[in-house]
Amino acid sequence: MAAARWRSAAVAAIAAAGPGGGGPGRALRSGSASEPVPMPLSGPVAPATAALYVHWPYCRKRCFYCSFNKYVVPAVDEAAMGACLVHEARTLLRLSQVQSVTSVFFGGGTPSLASPRTIAAVLEGVAGAVHLPAGTEITLEANPSSSDTQHLADFKAAGVNRLSIGVQSLNDAELRLLGREHTAAEARSTVEVARRLFPGRTSLDLIFGLPGQSQEAWTRGLEEALGLSDDHISLYQLTLERGTLLAAQVWGGALPTPTQDLLADMYQAARAVLVAAGFRHYEVSNFARKGALSTHNLSYWRAEQYIGVGPGAHGRFVPQGEGSCCREARVQTLEPDAWMQEVQSRGHGTRRRVVLSPLEQLEEVLVLGLRTDEGITHARWQHVSPHLSLEAVFGAPGEAKALQQQGWLVLDSNGLRCTWEGLAVLDSLLPDLLCQLQRCWAPPATPVHHTSGTVAAGP
C-alpha cells in the first residue's frame, strides 16, 4: 500500500517535470525510457517526527569572514518577524503532517539579538500546532556581545535549554582579525554565565586556520577554551568565502594563508587534545563528553526529516499533507522583507522545492552519515534502500573495498563508517564512494534519461 503510493507519486513528479527539462532542479540520474526506474518496492514511510530549524536573519555587524544569510538593518520589526516565523512554522508543520517535533534550533544571524519574548512566542506557536515533548532539546545560538546574564536567564524562561556560543577564539587579536564584535574577556564571562544557567548544555564554537595563526597558538587557545568549556565543542576550519573582507585581504596578499599541511596538523592536534580530555569525536566538527551530543544536529547527519523556517532556511521532509510520499529539499526565500511578504500572503516563503530521487536520498545518507563516528547503520540504509543493501554496494570489489583495505573505512555488522584516520580525510574519500554507489544503482549500460525533479513552489 505504501509502496504503491510511493511509486505513483515519484512517477507523477517525473512525468510532470517532463523530459530534458533544463530547469534549476537536480536531474534524477536514474531511469530510462525503456526500463523502469529502480525503485524500492516498499518505499520509506515518512515518520511523524521532524527536527525544526528557525532562522533569525539579523546581526548587529558583519563579521569579516561570514557568508551566512544575515542582514544588518537599522531597525528590526521584531513583532512582524516573530509572527511570520510562527505562521510559516505552522504552515510547514501542517504540510508535513508531523505529529511531534524532536528538537528546535534557533540559528542565524544572531538569534540572541531577538527578544526572549519572541523566542517564547515561536515555541508557543509550535507547541500549539504539534507535540513538543517536555525536555525536547531547544538550542539557541548566542553571541557573547548579546548575552548578558539577564538576557540568557530570560531565554531559559522562554524554554531554551541549550546554548551554542559563538566564542570563535579567546585571543583579542584573532577576534579583531575575524571582525567579531566581542572581546575574549566577554566570551569568557558569557560562557561562565551560560554554564551556570545551562549546566551540561552549553556548547562552544571555535575557529582554526586563521591567517598567520601558528600551530602553537591554536593548541594554546584550544587548551584555554577547554578549561572554560562545558561538555560540547564545535571546531570549524576557517573557509574564505567570496565577497567577504577577510577573503579579499588574503587573496589580495595582505594576509597569509595557512598551508594544507598546517591545517591538517591543527585538526589532528585538536582531536588528540579533546579526546584526551574525555570528549568523544562524534562528528567531523563536533566533540561531546558525558553524552552531551546535539540531538538536533544528529538528526541531520542521520538524514532524518527537518523543517526549516525563516529567511533562507533549508528543510528536508515529505509534504504528506498534499498527498506526497516523496522527500523534498526546500529552501525559503533569502531576503527577510520579501520572505515576510510571502509568509503574510500565502503562509510560507518556500522559494524552491526539489523532489529527491531515491539515489539522491542515498547520496545524502552516505555523505552525512559518514560524518559521524557511528556511521551509517544497516537499518538506516535499508530504510531508504530496501533492496540494495550496504554490503551489496560497498562490500563488492571496488573503491570502498580498497578504502577498507587501506584502513580508512569499516564495513561490519553495525554498518559502514570511517576509521579514526578516515574521519580526518572524509572529503577525499567521498568522491570514490559516490562513484561506486552511482554505478551500482544505475549500471552504465542503462541509457540515462534526464528529467528535472523540480516542482512548483506551492505549499
Ligand X SMILES: *[C@@H]1O[C@H](CO)[C@@H](O)[C@H](O)[C@H]1NC(C)=O
Binding footprint of ligand X on the chain (CB under 6 A): 53, 105, 107, 234, 285-286, 294, 296-297
- Compute the least distance from the CB of residue 366 to ligand SF4, in Å: 29
Residue 56 binds which of ligand SF4, ligand X, none (CB < 5-8 A, kind-dependent): none
**Residue 59's binding partner out of ligand SF4, ligand X, none, with CB under 5 to 8 Å set by partner kind:** ligand SF4
Residue number, 143 or 452, with CB nearest to ligand SF4: 143
Report whether 185 contacts 141 (CB < 8 A). no
Q: How far is the CB of 308 from ligand X (least distance, A)?
A: 7
Task: Name the residue nearer to ligand X (CB basis): 190 or 234.
Answer: 234
In the complex, least distance from residue 164 CB atom to ligand SF4, rounded to whole angstroms:
11
Q: Which is nearer to ligand X, 112 or 234 (CB)?
A: 234
Select the binding partner of residue 229 from ligand SF4, ligand X, none (C-beta < 5 to 8 A, by kind).
none
Closest approach of ligand X to the CB of residue 103, in Å: 9
Least distance between ligand SF4 and beta carbon 51 (Å): 20
53 binds, among ligand SF4, ligand X, none (CB under 5 to 8 A by kind): ligand X
Provide, rounded to whole angstroms, the least separation between the CB of residue 362 and ligand SF4: 32
- d(CA 32, CA 101) in angstroms, rounded, equals 38
71: partner contacted, choices ligand X, ligand SF4, none (Cβ within 5-8 A by kind): none
Task: Report the partner that residue 297 touches, choosing among ligand SF4, ligand X, none (CB closer than 5 to 8 A by kind).
Answer: ligand X
Q: How far is the CB of 294 from ligand X (least distance, A)?
A: 6
Q: How far is the CB of 319 from ligand SF4 (least distance, A)?
A: 29
Shortest distance (Å) from residue 143 CB to ligand SF4? 5
Q: Which does 70 bind (CB under 5 to 8 A by kind): ligand SF4, ligand X, none?
A: ligand SF4
Residue 97 binds which of ligand SF4, ligand X, none (CB < 5-8 A, kind-dependent): none
Residue 63 contact partner, candidates ligand X, ligand SF4, none, CB within 5 to 8 A by sort of partner:
ligand SF4
Q: Which is nearer to ligand SF4, 65 or 287 (CB)?
A: 65
In the complex with ligand X, the residue whose CB is nearer, 137 or 399, is 137
Q: Which does 105 bind (CB under 5 to 8 A by kind): ligand SF4, ligand X, none?
A: ligand X
The residues that touch ligand SF4, with contacts defined as CB under 6 A, are 59, 62-63, 66, 68, 70, 108-110, 143
Cβ closest to ligand X, residue 294 vs residue 333: 294
Nearer residue to ligand SF4 within complex by CB, 72 or 185: 72
Name which of 63 and 388 has its Cβ closer to ligand SF4.
Answer: 63
The contacts of residue 412 (CB under 8 Å, 6+ apart) are none
Q: HSE, CB side, 13 Å, CA atoms: give it for residue 138.
A: 21
3-state secondary structure the chain: CHHHHHHHHHHHHHHHHCECCCCCCCEECCCCCCCCCCCCCCCCCCCCEEEEEEEECECCCCCCCCCCCCECCCCCCHHHHHHHHHHHHHHHHHHHCCCEEEEEEEEECCHHHCCHHHHHHHHHHHHHHCECCCCCEEEEEECHHHCCHHHHHHHHHHCCCEEEEEEECCCHHHHHHHCCCCCHHHHHHHHHHHHHHCCCCEEEEEEECCCCCCHHHHHHHHHHHHHHCCCEEEEEECCCCCCCHHHHHHHCCCCCCCCHHHHHHHHHHHHHHHHHCCCEEEECCEEECCCCCCHHHHHHHCCCCEEEECCCCEEEECCHHHCCCCCEEEEECCCHHHHHHHHHHHCCCEEEEEECCHHHHHHHHHHHHCCECCCEEHHHHHHHCCCCCHHHHHCCCCHHHHHHHCCCEEECCCEEEECHHHHCCHHHHHHHHHHHHHHHHCCCCCCCCCEECEECCCC
Pairwise CA distance, residues 144 & 72, whole Å: 17
Question: Distances from the Cα of 58 to the Cαs of 235, 336, 456, in angstroms?
Answer: 23, 9, 29
23, HSE (Cβ side, Cα atoms, 13 Å) = 19
Q: What's the min distance (Å) between Cβ of 190 and ligand X?
A: 18
Q: Which is nearer to ligand X, 87 or 232 (CB)?
A: 232
With respect to ligand SF4, which residue has the nearer C-beta, 165 or 429? 165
